[in-house]
């Protein structure tokens, strides 16, 4: 039976779609700091950039983004747009033109939020019940999802917790092969390897699990794959098998072929941030700290941490308020400018 399981903690909902013991999809929703995908805005044109195919624009919250359009835009003018790609990989929001509202505001304004990651997965699996372990989250769910809501004590059991955590690892077990995943600002490199003697059939057999890992981790943009133990001249023959493995991906990756050096090249649309970026960012690490304190029932009320961690928590007051409510006492934040980026202590 397919189920959507939502594990709630301060500032964050970790979402897993499962079919018995198989993880089908995964996502993270941070209500206090949404990624903004498909949000509807009125934006102000900052600088036209026709050579880049659009213009830089300013949003209500002060964020900048790039609006892709062939239309001529006047600097300082207001126009409507929707976010087509969330900020990620060191790059800002990308937007596309949208209809102007009936009542035009006097400046940049957020008009409507786009669907959350939970909304997307609920639409993708319309028959699946939604198990949530926080009764207070019901108020944040769309009315249309509430009939599917099932309360539970713990949305993730130990096995599902381990499966979700493994998605932040740079290595993935594909059965006969192991994938080592190396995200860079320009692309994602994936190296397939084996302790045994990999061959053509071994790579083909690993592709379905590789496709599942790409989808679960939301690896996007240009992806270069180095097969294991297959001679360069034979690697183009792997392309049809890779396409078949990726055929069920809702983002419809495009397998481009093999490079002259024998790397298999594919592209997958960038929409939401990849999971590794969400987990490893200062915000992701800070929310993990709050989850750890609650799970292990650690004593103390003063969190001393690095600049990045403290700033991330200060920028997400919803997470701190939720933490205080769950723990029944506030948390004082102390910034240690000399602390390593991931360093923290509770006293």
Find the DSSP H helices in the chain. Answer: 117-124, 158-166, 200-217, 239-246, 275-280, 282-295, 307-314, 317-327
pTM of the model: 0.93
Check residue 14 and give its pLDDT.
97
Query: Domain residues of the chain, as ranges?
Result: 2-32+116-162, 39-112, 169-268, 281-346
Check residue 198 and give its pLDDT.
79
The region, left, alpha or beta by phi > 0 then psi within -120 to 50, assigned to residue 279 is alpha
pLDDT bucket at 237, cuts 50 / 70 / 90 = very high
Rounded Cα gap, residues 248 and 72, in angstroms:
38
The tens digit of pLDDT for each residue in 182-204 reads 999 899 999 999 877 778 999 99
Check residue 135 and give its pLDDT.
83
Check residue 115 and give its pLDDT.
95
Highest CATH level, class, for 39-112? mainly beta
Main-chain dihedrals φ then ψ at residue 168, nearest 5 degrees = -90, -5
CATH number of 2-32+116-162: 3.30.420
Main-chain dihedrals φ then ψ at residue 187, nearest 5 degrees = -165, 175
Check residue 137 and give its pLDDT.
79
Check residue 304 and give its pLDDT.
96
pLDDT bucket at 155, cuts 50 / 70 / 90 = very high
Give residue for tokens 């300013």: 58
Q: Which pair of structure tokens corresponds to residue 19?
A: 């079919």
Rounded Cα gap, residues 68 and 77, in angstroms:
15
Q: Which pair of structure tokens corresponds to residue 185?
A: 């600002």
Q: What is the DSSP letter of 91?
A: B
The region, left, alpha or beta by phi > 0 then psi within -120 to 50, assigned to residue 251 is alpha
Q: What's the longest Cα–Cα distance across the chain?
A: 66
- Those residues whose C-beta lies under 8 Å from the C-beta of residue 340, and which sit 6 or more positions away, are 306
- Those residues whose C-beta lies under 8 Å from the C-beta of residue 43, and which sit 6 or more positions away, are 57, 58, 59, 65, 67, 78, 79, 80, 81, 95, 108
The tens digit of pLDDT for each residue in 277-324 reads 999 999 999 999 999 999 999 999 999 999 999 999 999 999 999 999
CA distances from 61 to 65, 292, 310, 317 (A): 11, 31, 21, 16
Check residue 103 and give its pLDDT.
92
The tens digit of pLDDT for each residue in 44-89 reads 999 999 999 999 999 999 999 999 999 889 999 999 999 999 999 8
Check residue 142 and give its pLDDT.
82
Measured torsion, CA atoms of residues 215, 217, 218, 223, in degrees rounded to the nearest 10: -90
The tens digit of pLDDT for each residue in 238-273 reads 999 999 999 999 999 999 999 999 999 999 999 999
The tens digit of pLDDT for each residue in 94-126 reads 999 999 999 999 999 999 999 999 999 999 999
Model confidence at 332: pLDDT above 80 = yes
By percentage, how much of the chain surpasses pLDDT 90? Answer: 88
The tens digit of pLDDT for each residue in 167-180 reads 999 999 998 899 99
Q: To 5 degrees, how large is the angle CA 134–CA 140–CA 141?
A: 90
């Amino acid at each position: 039976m397919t189920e959507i399981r939502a594990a709630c903690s301060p500032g964050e909902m970790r979402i897993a779609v499962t079919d018995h013991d198989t993880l089908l999809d995964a996502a993270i929703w941070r209500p206090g700091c949404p990624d903004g995908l498909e949000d509807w805005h009125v934006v102000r044109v900052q600088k036209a950039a026709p050579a880049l195919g659009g213009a830089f624009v300013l949003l209500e919250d002060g964020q900048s983004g790039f609006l892709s359009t062939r239309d001529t835009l006047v600097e300082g003018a207001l126009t409507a747009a929707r976010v087509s790609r969330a900020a990620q990989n060191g790059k800002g929001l990308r937007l596309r033109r949208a209809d102007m509202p009936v009542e035009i505001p006097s400046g940049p304004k957020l008009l409507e939020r786009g669907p959350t990651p939970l909304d997307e997965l609920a639409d993708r699996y319309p028959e699946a019940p939604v198990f949530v372990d926080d009764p207070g989250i019901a108020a944040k769910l769309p009315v249309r999802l509430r009939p599917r809501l099932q309360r539970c004590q713990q949305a993730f059991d130990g096995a599902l917790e381990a499966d979700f955590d493994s998605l932040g690892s740079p290595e993935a077990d594909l059965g006969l092969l192991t994938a080592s995943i190396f995200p860079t600002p320009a692309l994602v490199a994936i190296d397939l390897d084996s302790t045994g003697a990999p061959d053509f059939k071994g790579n083909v057999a690993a592709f379905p699990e590789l496709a599942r890992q790409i989808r679960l981790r939301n690896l996007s943009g240009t992806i270069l794959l180095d097969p294991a133990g297959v001679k360069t001249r034979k690697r183009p023959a792997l392309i049809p098998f890779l396409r078949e493995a990726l055929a069920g991906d809702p983002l419809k990756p495009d397998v481009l072929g093999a490079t002259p050096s024998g790397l298999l090249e594919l592209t997958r649309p960038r929409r939401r941030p990849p999971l590794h970026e969400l987990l490893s960012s200062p915000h992701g690490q800070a929310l993990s700290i709050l989850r750890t304190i609650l799970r292990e029932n650690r004593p103390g009320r003063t969190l001393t941490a690095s600049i990045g961690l403290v700033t991330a928590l200060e920028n997400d007051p919803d997470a701190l308020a939720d933490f205080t409510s769950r723990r029944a006492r506030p948390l004082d934040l102390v910034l240690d400018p000399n602390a390593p980026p991931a360093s923290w202590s509770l006293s």
